[in-house]
Amino acid sequence: MGLPQPQAPHYRYADYRRWPDDARYELIDGVAYAMTPAPSRRHQEVTLELARQIADALDGAPCRPYIAPFDVRLPRAQEGDDDIDTVVQPDISVVCDKTKLDEQGCRGAPDWIIEVLSPASASRDHIVKRALYERVGVREYWLVHPVDHIVTIYLLVNGAYGKPEVQALHGTTAAHSVPGVVIDWARVMRED
């Protein structure tokens, strides 16, 4: 019989806030995931254009878009901030309930999250984060694949994500959970 293996640390938001600014991590269920180095130029262009279109469409509306780095704290219940063990930084978060916003970011599930996929984080975005966002009640989750020119859309129905909708990045796509937002893919995918 072998010796018991040491357990991996279970981190919380209190730990996360003490880490150096130059070391970017996300916490998911107490596990620290290192963020990749700065995203590629193309990733930044796609994210910026998506955020620009969303912000323009929501100008004057109660919903607000936020871009990474922006802490989204996802408590399991009513625990205090220091005890939260899940903090993510989606590429784009849209929050319609202003009571979820504070100086640290967002506490609770945003209405809509968009991740622009990068090779280093694609599997985590597809598997770990999809399950997390479903569990915490994110109403709409988009995975934008700039290399493959597709978007995968998950919608929360009766507490679960059903079969995803997959579309080519052509024409336009309307957000389901945030009325009035329509993404023009020609503008997003334009390469100057």
Q: Which helix (H) or strand (E) holds 174?
A: strand 172-174
Residue 123: per-residue pLDDT: 82
- Report how far residue 165's alpha carbon sits from residue 155's, in angstroms, rounded to the nearest whole number: 9
55-82 pLDDT, tens digit each: 999 999 999 999 999 999 999 999 999 9
The pLDDT mean for the chain works out to 91
- Report how far residue 152's alpha carbon sits from residue 179's, in angstroms, rounded to the nearest whole number: 19
Residue 1: per-residue pLDDT: 47
User: What is the DSSP code (8-state) at residue 83?
Assistant: G
Second CATH level (architecture) for the domain 13-189 = Alpha-Beta Complex (3.90)
- Which residues, in sequence order, are CB contacts of 102 under 8 Å at separation 6+? none
Residue 192: per-residue pLDDT: 62
Higher pLDDT, 122 or 101: 101
Place of tokens 């903090």: 87
For residue 25, the tally of other CB atoms under 10 A from its CB is 16
